[in-house]
Amino acid sequence: MGRWQFGARTWVRKPRDGRLNLYVVTPGIQYIVQDQKPFGFNLVINGLPKKPTAVLPFDVYWAVVLDPELDANIQDERDLIIYTQSTFKPDPDSGFVQFPGYEVLRRYLGIKTMADLRRFRRRRKSPELPRVIIVPAHFMVRASVREKVASKTAHR
């Protein structure tokens, strides 16, 4: 994505429970893709391997913020899941670009109109949408990860 390569990609039909999850959360500030329409994203994983150097498969999911009022830089799976369980009512007059993650919706998920989002409604006739949607990317990456070490800053 952008100039970053996060691991070897393999196409898979369905995610498996035995694999770790890697969420590409947009918008985010961890990585910025400079393009005609720049956008940012964060990578969130749901666990660490037992061996820090192990190369493991991760099922990849797109996690896209839809709610324009959600001003959160999501970096935790727990928060991500909580936001998917709450809803909001989009402004029908604002169009598709009201969604903070519209660039990823358009580029990677083929969602280009308000009508394309109907499948994500909790109830058929309700205008409400989840604040965040999680969609399988239908591929996995083989990668190694390590725990982020807090930087040591001298306080005087």
pLDDT along the chain (156 residues), means of 10: 69 82 93 79 87 84 95 92 94 88 90 89 82 92 74 46
Task: Name the residue range of residue 63's domain.
Answer: 8-143
Q: How many domains does the chain have?
A: 1
Tokens of 79: 């928060």
Tokens of 22: 């890697």
Residue 137: how many other CB atoms lie within 10 Å: 19
Q: What is the pLDDT of residue 156?
A: 40
Distance in angstroms (rounded) separating the CA atoms of residues 102 and 44: 19
Is 26 among the domain residues?
yes
Is 2 among the domain residues?
no
Is 110 among the domain residues?
yes
Residue owning tokens 């970053």: 4
Is 153 among the domain residues?
no
Is 84 among the domain residues?
yes
Is 22 among the domain residues?
yes
